[in-house]
Amino acid sequence: MAVIGRLSRASRLLERAVKEEFARHGLESWEFDVLATLLRSGPPHVLSAGDLSAAAMVSSAALTNRVDRLVGKGLVDRAVDPGHRRRVLISLTDQGLRLVNEVVEHHLANERRLLEDLPAAERDQLAALLRRLLISLGDNGRGQAGT
């Protein structure tokens, strides 16, 4: 009970701190996730809707709603793939690229701050233990909680 209880409390506290950081930049966590996924794809920061859906681990219906909202904010563009007319491409706008690059820096600083009381060796040990736990729960790192 102690392990599960502490993991649950830590998860809630960490999630709240991360959400607060994103809110300082006018973003929801899901918005950052989509923008960061496009950023990780590398220049020109374009993915098909299907690839983005898979990488962001959301259904195509959820992705459509998210992309609609991000298009409305001017952070992403949606276009038909000229080489495959049934495929939709999602790309970062210049504004979206600037914002996500800025937020990534603040997000990483926030994560460092949240874990700063643990020495590096203990952070590494905790990461390894949590990875083992996730794997034992069926997480393969590609479609569930991640690594």
Q: Write down the domain spans for the chain.
A: 2-108
- Which residues, given as ranges, of the chain have pLDDT below 50? 143-147
Query: Strand, coil or helix: what is 95?
Result: helix
Q: What is the fold, at CATH topology level, of the domain defined by 2-108?
A: Arc Repressor Mutant, subunit A (1.10.10)
CA distances from 139 to 52, 56, 58, 109 (A): 20, 16, 16, 27
The pLDDT score that the predictor gives to residue 147 is: 39
- 37, 53 contact by CB (below 8 A): no
pLDDT of residue 140: 74
